[in-house]
Amino acid sequence: MFAIKEIVAREVLDSRADLTLEVDVLLENGVMGRAMIPTGCSVGKHEAVELRDHQSTRFNGKGLLKAIDMIRTEIRPALLGKNPLDQTGIDRLLIRLDGTDNKSRLGANSILGVSMAVAKAAASHLGLSLCAYLGGKTGHEIPLPILTMLCGGKHGGGNVDFQDFQVIPLRARSLHDALAIGKNIYNALKSLMKSQGMPVGVSGTGGFMPTLPSNESALQMLTDAIMLAGYRPGVDVGLSMDVAAEMFYEGKRYHLKSEGRTLTADEFIGLLEQMVDRYPIVLIEDPLGEDDFDGWTEITRRLGDRIELVGDDLFTSSIRRFGLGIDRRMANSILVKPNQIGTLTETLDIIAAARAAGYGVVISRRSGETEDTSIADIAVATNCGKVKFGSFARSEGLSKYNQLLRLEEALGPAALFRGAQTLKADLGRPVGACLQ
């Protein structure tokens, strides 16, 4: 027999040394699946809700004894004896058991921990990787990495307003090639910063955190690093930004504290449009606030045929929020984080819905990550096309790139790497004024 025999949960540490949840699902035949759940620092208000203890005297209120108790007293009794191969049935049971719209009673962390651990136990029972279990013979595309280089906002301690600045290897012919290009630029950027007397410490996602005079100056520094590494901006390598605009959107205005100015939505869209004109930007994530629907519609009208516009806080991996995006023509791509929605089945459903609607898909890590590599398997299994796992420092992100390399090797000749073809961007447009 291989039914679920036991479920155990515990507190472990994430990449920020905050507590997070780890769940083990043990089958009757001795096979086990284990999942660790990440957490974010810039959390959209429409995300599924983690269950935390909020006891200030213990781990700054981030303890998980309540979540563990929910698993022990409610989830475990409901799942013992269930077939681990019935992932959809188990996830639907977890959703019904919680009974809220945002998974706040049992906690999205509790639910996802069990959901993912069940899937991993089922895969192990069948002698398969999680990727092969979820994707079968159709899951074979190795994703293009979006590689973090510079960090601002909450990731960078407020040095600049925008949260992340990244590079995307446009001419890479394989994952190995893409990572080599990214590492060369990372090294060139580090040398460039040292030559200017800047510190080269890294953020929680591995990107450098220099103090810069403006958000645009980060784009110029990255462009310089690309050329220093011997690549052509806009031809070999493109730029990407996670603006995380919700973090500075208040009162229907965008407050750029590092630059000392406040802009209306139209003015801010104009600023981003100028950046796209000047720099080889091919992707922008969260350019506007999560509920600035009019602004999202406008920026999609103005830039949606030129670059990939990714909704993270806008959609929070929610099928309902994504439906609004389709109806109002907001964005042309979606960022997917399993812990935003709370079960593996819902994660797979939102990816399928995005692909059916013609949207791009980016699967992403969280800022508070773990060594769990499940999202790498999900990315290949679903042929999502793009991933955002961080930079070239910090092992929690590198572990996911390493898992992609293993999957690429395991797939052998069946592995497909489409690279820049996965981008919803006009790669033939002029590079921009930054090179003139």
Kindly report the CATH number assigned to the domain that includes residue 43: 3.30.390.10
- Residues of the chain with pLDDT > 90, as a percent, come to 90
Tokens standing for 327? 């109806």
Euclidean distance between the first and the last CA atom of the chain, given in angstroms as a whole number: 68
Say whether pLDDT at 130 is over 60.
Answer: yes
155 domain residue, yes or no? yes
312 is in an annotated binding site: yes
46 domain residue, yes or no? yes
392 domain residue, yes or no? yes
10 Å CB burial of residue 195 (0-12, 13-18, 19+) is exposed
242 is in an annotated binding site: yes
Specify whether the CB–CB gap between 262 and 251 falls below 8 A: no
Tokens standing for 428? 């033939």
Question: Are residue 39 and residue 171 in the same domain, yes or no?
Answer: no
Specify whether the CB–CB gap between 191 and 137 falls below 8 A: no
Question: Are residue 344 and residue 302 in the same domain, yes or no?
Answer: yes
| Structure confidence at residue 50 (pLDDT) | 94
Tokens standing for 343? 């079960």
Question: Are residue 17 and residue 152 in the same domain, yes or no?
Answer: no
CA within 13 Å, CB half, 46: 17
**Which uninterrupted H or E stretch holds 7?**
strand 4-13
pLDDT digits (tens, 9 = 90+) for 215-236: 999 999 999 999 999 999 999 9
Question: Are residue 95 and residue 156 in the same domain, yes or no?
Answer: no
Question: Are residue 87 and residue 216 in the same domain, yes or no?
Answer: no
- Domain termination residue (choose one: 127, 155, 188): 127
Residue of 58, 51, 53, 57 lying closest to 37 (CA atoms): 51
Poorest-pLDDT segment among 41-55, 168-182, 333-347: 41-55
| Structure confidence at residue 436 (pLDDT) | 57
Question: Are residue 247 and residue 316 in the same domain, yes or no?
Answer: yes
State how far the Cα of 38 lies from the Cα of 374, in Å rounded to an integer.
Answer: 11
Specify whether the CB–CB gap between 404 and 142 falls below 8 A: yes
Please, what is the average pLDDT of the chain? Answer: 95
pLDDT digits (tens, 9 = 90+) for 326-382: 999 999 999 999 999 999 999 999 999 999 999 999 999 998 899 999 999 999 999
Say whether pLDDT at 418 is over 60.
Answer: yes
Question: Are residue 387 and residue 288 in the same domain, yes or no?
Answer: yes
Residue of 407, 422, 335, 337 lying closest to 129 (CA atoms): 407
256: containing domain: 144-435
Question: Are residue 291 and residue 318 in the same domain, yes or no?
Answer: yes
How confident is the model over 150-173, as a mean pLDDT? 90
Question: Are residue 340 and residue 429 in the same domain, yes or no?
Answer: yes
Catalytic positions, written as ranges: 337
- Domain termination residue (choose one: 127, 153, 169): 127
CA within 13 Å, CB half, 387: 32
Q: Cβ neighbours of residue 27 under 8 Å, at least 6 residues apart? A: 2, 3, 4, 5, 84, 121, 125
Specify whether the CB–CB gap between 375 and 360 falls below 8 A: no
* Position 430 confidence tier, pLDDT thresholds 50, 70, 90: confident
418 is in an annotated binding site: no
| Structure confidence at residue 12 (pLDDT) | 97
136 domain residue, yes or no? no
Kindly report the CATH number assigned to the domain that includes residue 201: 3.20.20.120
Specify whether the CB–CB gap between 239 and 222 falls below 8 A: yes
Question: Are residue 307 and residue 424 in the same domain, yes or no?
Answer: yes
250 is in an annotated binding site: no
| Structure confidence at residue 194 (pLDDT) | 96
Residues comprising the chain, all counted:
436
290 is in an annotated binding site: no
366 is in an annotated binding site: yes
Question: Are residue 62 and residue 170 in the same domain, yes or no?
Answer: no
Q: What is the DSSP secondary structure assignment for residue 243, as one 8-state letter? A: -
Q: Is the dihedral of CA 416, 422, 428, 430 positive or negative?
A: negative
How confident is the model over 380-394, as a mean pLDDT? 96
137 is in an annotated binding site: no
* Position 42 confidence tier, pLDDT thresholds 50, 70, 90: low
Q: How many separate domains does the chain show?
A: 2
DSSP 3-state of 65:
helix
Question: Are residue 220 and residue 74 in the same domain, yes or no?
Answer: no
161 domain residue, yes or no? yes
388 is in an annotated binding site: yes
Poorest-pLDDT segment among 28-42, 104-118, 276-290, 295-309: 28-42
Token pair 């403006």 is at which residue? 214
